[in-house]
Amino acid sequence: MYSTLYFPNKPIWKVLYLYLIFLFWGCEQKSDERLKIADVLLPSLSQDQIIINNMNQSDFRTDQQLLADQQTATDQQTPTDQQTPTDQQTPTDQQTPTDQQILTDQQMPTDQQMPTDQQTATDQSNPIDFNLPLDQNMAPSQDMQINTCQDSWPAVQTYPPNAFQLGGQNAWYHDEGHAFGYFHTYDAFSCPNVQSRKIHVFLPRNYEANANRQYKVLYMQDGVNVFWPGGVANLTWQVAQLLSDMSPCDIDEMIVVALHSLDRDREYTPVNWADQSSCCGLDSYVDLLKTCIHQFMQTNYRVCQTPDCHILAGADFGALVGLSAISRYPETFGGVGLFSPALWVGHDMNVRSDLIANINPSNLSQSPWISGILAQIQQSMKPIWMQWGLVRDGNWQNEVLEEIVSHRGREFRDLLIERTYVLNQNLWVIEDENGRHDENTWQRHFPHFIQKFFPKTR
């Protein structure tokens, strides 16, 4: 028994040799079976997995090598913008992909995969640049838009009135609590060879804080009622409140200069307009406006230098001041607002009687003063804004005065258009069906005028 078990008549190495041959033959048979199984299963694998073709014994891989190759390929796979992995897309041990596999809403073939709920059309039109920080790749939504405009003026912080001197002129600071700004008032502003007058300078609330900013200026006539009630009718434009009620998103901050008149009929009219009436001082007043008032603002306040930064406005006779200024000094002034303009002056006489009975039958183009204005304006084409009212209620100012104002206003509008002015580009005209010849109507249209000449630019 002992001799049979140990083969005493043969060398031990021969036994081991035969045993190794037997083991090698067994492995060869097992490998052939594995190759046959792989040939059946591999064609059903998806395109994202490794495909092994024409496998033979010479390029055979062990189990560990095959798994390693598959893992390497998976690690190198780059998801596209349209691939969004979900929990349902991870195959389990029991999931074997076949040609008959049922596709669910969450499981789509890679080449045809549809965007998920989180993907939008912007994924394809605006591909992510992975070289940029994430926040630079994010398309801004409505919630992410940055609003650079604050829809309110700065907080009001008032100080007690105090006196000061500026440019050799005595003034005093006072704040009426308007959101838009505060006042510098010169009770006796003096210009060479002219009697002193009161001037109000209305400054933006942030004027001191914005030390490097330059502002546009609006010069308004009849300063007695620009901010507070005054004048014959004791009415007001309420300009400070109107500007405070407007949105900072719609208009730029500006400086408003309101000039009191010394003799309104004389300073604001160019020619004789009625018997025994003061007249004919308009040219001198416009010269003072340019050489004294405008120069003072340029020297002592932070105002921009170009003509379009200096706009004028006025009503009735006061409108003629701005019209004369832009025609005579286009290098200084850039535009004008004409509220119920007295364009009839010098053409239709005796306004203090029944004006309708004294209307000149000829067109406004026959007025010598208007003809001169048109010739000068045609060269510079400064923008012009006009407004008048259509209420005829028996009141003399509305029934008579505003009637001739609207009549000559339409003629002037047509004369400007003949000289290549274009409506709603450099010429704006408003006929107010509910408008009268008074400050209540003019203040109603003041915001529209401001939006045209001081639109938001910053």
Instruction: Look at residue 276 in the predicted model and tell me its pLDDT.
Output: 75
**Across all residues in the chain, what is the average pLDDT?**
78
Q: Token pair for residue 312?
A: 């004028």
Region 78-95: what's the mean pLDDT?
41
Strand partners, 191: 194
* Contact (Cβ atoms closer than 8 angstroms) between residue 303 and residue 215: yes
State residue 37's pLDDT score.
Answer: 39
β-pair type (254-259, 194-204): antiparallel
List the one residue out of 167, 204, 164, 206 whose CA is nearest residue 185: 164
Of the candidates 168, 166, 150, which has an alpha carbon nearest to the alpha carbon of residue 203? 166
Q: Which residues of 395-425 are buried (b: 16+ CB within 10 A; e: fewer)?
A: eebbebbbbbbbbbbebbbebbeeeebeeee
pLDDT at 124 over 70: no
Bigger pLDDT: 313 vs 86: 313
Average pLDDT value for residue range 190-197: 95
Extract the tokens encoding 266.
Answer: 């004389």
- Residue 64 CB burial class (10 angstroms; 0-12, 13-18, ≥19): exposed
Interval 167-187: pLDDT, tens: 999 999 999 999 999 999 999
- Residue 117: the pLDDT is 44
- pLDDT over threshold 90, residue 99: no
Report the C-alpha gap between 298 and 151 in whole angstroms. 30
**What's the pLDDT at 354?**
59
Give pLDDT tens digits for 23-79: 665 555 544 554 443 444 334 433 433 333 433 333 334 444 444 554 554 454 444
pLDDT of residue 18: 65
**Which residues, 6+ apart, have CB-to-CB distance to 414 below 8 Å?**
none
Q: What is the pLDDT of residue 14?
A: 60
SS3 157: coil
- CATH 3.40.50.1820 residue ranges of the chain are 162-453
pLDDT digits (tens, 9 = 90+) for 399-411: 989 999 999 999 9
In percent, how much of the chain has pLDDT > 70?
Answer: 65
The confidence band for 295, taking pLDDT boundaries of 50, 70 and 90, is very high
Give pLDDT, residue 231. 92
pLDDT for 105 equals 40
**Of 10-19, 171-180, 234-243, 334-343, the least confident:** 10-19
Lookup: tokens for 26: 């067994």
Tokens 């979900």, located at residue = 86
Share of the chain above pLDDT 90, in %: 59
- Over residues 344-386, the pLDDT tens digits come to 998 987 655 555 656 888 999 999 999 999 999 999 999 999 9
CA proximity to 419, closest of 448, 445, 386, 381: 381
Q: What is the mean pLDDT of residues 186-205?
A: 97
| Joined tokens for residue 139 | 């398309």
Say how far residue 200 (Cα) sits from the centre of its chain: 31
Greater confidence (128 vs 330) lies with 330
pLDDT for residue 12: 61
For residue 143, pLDDT over 50 is answered with no
Exposed/middle/buried for 283, CB within 10 Å: 0-12, 13-18, 19+? Answer: exposed
Residues 6+ apart with CB under 8 A from 376: 327, 328, 330
pTM above 0.75, yes or no: no
- CATH, domain range 162-453: 3.40.50.1820
Question: What digits encode the pLDDT tens for the residues 236-294?
Answer: 999 999 999 999 999 999 999 999 999 999 999 999 888 778 999 999 999 999 999 99
> Higher pLDDT residue, 7 or 161?
161
